[in-house]
Structure 1
């Protein structure tokens, strides 16, 4: 498997000064996905922004793992609702242009 879109969890933890167990906990509850290549665990690069947000919640705001799950769930709902609003606005514009 190509590792150009992956970052080793060890390298990530060293760079962000995060405990390996914290990243493992996020993986165990399903907040992030990891892959194993040649006995090394990796994170997909597109997940970095989400993972950085979770680290800030944990470190800066002292939010526990359960709280991070709640925030993540709520943010996903907000994004979904924003997408639905855009879709509805586009449909409304279509109907308004028919008048």
Structure 2
């Protein structure tokens, strides 16, 4: 079982509105686990929660904006990963015709 924190504790610690947290869950930006009717956020998702909270409260970005920014940042990371993979391949090749993409 992964390390986790209850949603009630998250709301208290991060001082966020439960409606905002429920919107993040409904939009599938966060994926809580439920056990004995208690919802938990896994620790691995806390950096995402912190980022979304900062965007919303500090930068006043609404939920649709958060969804778009999150999607674009994920796409950028995917492109970086693909770029690194292709750079490794091109660095190992002496002839581009040998490439197996």
TM superposition outliers: structure 1 runs of 4+ over 6 Å: none
Partners of 2:49 and 2:76 in 1: how far apart? 18
C-alpha displacement of 1:24:
0.7
Unaligned stretches of 5+ residues in structure 1? none
Partners of 1:34 and 1:57 in 2: how far apart? 20
1:59 counterpart residue number: 57
Unaligned stretches of 5+ residues in structure 2? 96-101
Look at both structures and tell me which one has the larger radius of gyration over its CA atoms: 2
Partners of 2:19 and 2:4 in 1: how far apart? 19
1:92 counterpart residue number: 90
Partners of 1:56 and 1:14 in 2: how far apart? 16
Partners of 2:7 and 2:73 in 1: how far apart? 24
Partners of 2:77 and 2:45 in 1: how far apart? 16
Partners of 2:58 and 2:39 in 1: how far apart? 26
Instruction: Map residues 45-56 of structure 1 onto 2, 5 A cutoff.
Output: 45-56=43-54
- TM-score scaled to structure 1, two decimals? 0.91
- TM-score scaled to structure 2, two decimals? 0.89
Q: RMSD across aligned C-alpha pairs, in angstroms? A: 1.3
Of the three residues 72, 75, 81, the one matched with 1:74 is 72
C-alpha displacement of 1:92:
1.0
